[in-house]
Structure 1
Amino acid sequence: MQRNLKMNLFYSPGACALASQIALREAGMNFEMVKVDLKNKEYAGGDYKKVNPKGYIPALQLPDGHLMTEGAVILQWIADQAPDKNLLPKFGTMERYKAMEWLNFIATEVHKGIGSLFNSAHMNDETKAAIQAKIQLRLGVLDQHLLSNAYMLGENFSVVDAYAYNVLRWTNLVHVDTTNHKGIQGLMAKMAERASVKEAVAAEGIRL
């Protein structure tokens, strides 16, 4: 896949396509952002579910028309198109499987946990407290790892960091306390200084 062939990234401001956008910018790939109204499942071209039957984002439409969904998979695909950027270890290596392990952990344990609090209006206090407690346990795992690693895979940035940044920036929005997680705070500070992150949040009209 040539990097100069334009792709369409379907997104909603501040949602989980932010990681894919950051990765695309890090890889130097040519893409156009297509905004989706997730509530009504619509975009400028009409019914979004005709594009992605799942109805959510991210979705990346490749130049040949193929549609790729699921953020953790999209991130790996992007990284593999730009091997010279070292956005992920080479496929088949133990380092790559560790990266996949972290991507899966973020997707299933952090993303889903924090994301559930965006729909907390129907929850009672006991349920909210239980979710908050579980999130803190999962954040503790990330924090301990980041206390001894500059980035999720060690000393260098990878697309795993893009995903971590994407979901961790939601903590302020849903009142998840990270003040005692110095490792996480360190990662977020480093990410906020990256050009790709600054460009991505500006493109979506959101804050760092």
Structure 2
Amino acid sequence: MNPFSFNCYFDEYKNKGRRIVMKLFYAAGSSSMAPHILLEESGIPYVLEKVNLDTKTWNGGDYNSLNPKSYVPALATDSDGVLTECAVVLEYIGRQTNKEHFIDEYRSKSYWKQRMWLNYIATELHKNFISPFRKGNWLPNTADSKSFVYKRVLPRLKFVDNALKQQDYLVNNEFSAPDAYLFVITNWIKRLGYNFDDFKNLQSFDARMRERSAVQRVLRQEGKAHTLQEKD
């Protein structure tokens, strides 16, 4: 199957009178939660496809045939094929909605701030949370890997915490695409049992995000994430 030919997956929904323009491939609690949140916030019709990252499969078979990178998110669209990389997927979703503040007008001052945050979260936080010493395709799940990751992310988390000192959200003090991505990180902090004592502003941000109805729906829809207990 050509991974960029997705019309067949959208036809069944079109025939039911519902215009589906996006299909999000996700794993519970992973970085794909960020585009999931933005889709819920946007009101854009979409469907979810759960991916088993251990077996590299989804309901349609081999996930690697769809996304050879073997990770989530992947976003299948009826017009632009399959998109990967969380920051790119977030910007794409933001461009499809009339809520312009999700991703601001191209080349505006706010747009470049949003792009800086998306890239910072992707490269300095997201990737540094993925320890090379973890066992399996997940977050750190051994005592050594958790300690190693914390040392790497600590100064980066402090930088973001300081940026939130006098504002609720990262850009223009209103929710936008980078905030959905940052919530993935604060959710990982909680799941890994890291202490929020040094990150009071991030802790407040996390609580604020959990009050949003879209975030609450996403947490219910995704359910329990994979275990982070040490594996043999």
Match status 1:108 vs 2:154: no
Which residue pairs with 1:87 in the alignment?
102
Once residues 187 and 60 of structure 1 are traced to their aligned partners in structure 2, the CA distance between those partners, rounded to angstroms, is: 27
Match status 1:190 vs 2:213: no
* Partner SS state of residue 68, structure 1: strand
Once residues 23 and 204 of structure 1 are traced to their aligned partners in structure 2, the CA distance between those partners, rounded to angstroms, is: 14
Looking at CA atoms only, which structure, 1 or 2, has the larger radius of gyration? Answer: 2
- Of residues 30, 47, 50, the one that matches 2:65 is 50
Single out whichever of 150-159 and 138-147 deviates more from structure 2: 150-159
Which residue type is aligned with residue 187 of structure 2?
R
Q: CA deviation at 1:91?
A: 1.0
- Unpaired runs of 5+ residues, structure 1, are none
Once residues 102 and 206 of structure 1 are traced to their aligned partners in structure 2, the CA distance between those partners, rounded to angstroms, is: 28
Which residue type is aligned with residue 46 of structure 1?
G
Q: Deviations over 1:32-59 (max 9, x none)?
A: 1000000110011110111111111000
Which residue type is aligned with residue 25 of structure 2?
F
Which residue pairs with 1:10 in the alignment?
25
- Going from structure 1 to structure 2, the CA distance change for 1:119 and 1:155 (only over 3 Å counts) comes to closer
* Partner SS state of residue 92, structure 2: helix
The TM-score, its normalising length taken from structure 2, stands at 0.81
- Going from structure 1 to structure 2, the CA distance change for 1:170 and 1:84 (only over 3 Å counts) comes to closer
What percent of counterpart residues are identical? 33
Which residue pairs with 2:85 in the alignment?
70
- Unpaired runs of 5+ residues, structure 2, are 1-17, 226-232
Once residues 4 and 98 of structure 1 are traced to their aligned partners in structure 2, the CA distance between those partners, rounded to angstroms, is: 33
Which residue pairs with 2:38 in the alignment?
23
Which structure features the higher share of helix residues? Answer: 1
Q: Deviations over 1:125-171 (max 9, x none)?
A: 5x754532221101100100111111011321111110000122011
| Alignment size in residue pairs | 202
Is 1:7–1:60's contact at 8 Å kept on the other side of the alignment? yes
Is 1:114–1:174's contact at 8 Å kept on the other side of the alignment? no
Is 2:19–2:45's contact at 8 Å kept on the other side of the alignment? yes
Please report the RMSD computed on the Cα atoms of aligned residues, expressed in angstroms. Answer: 2.0
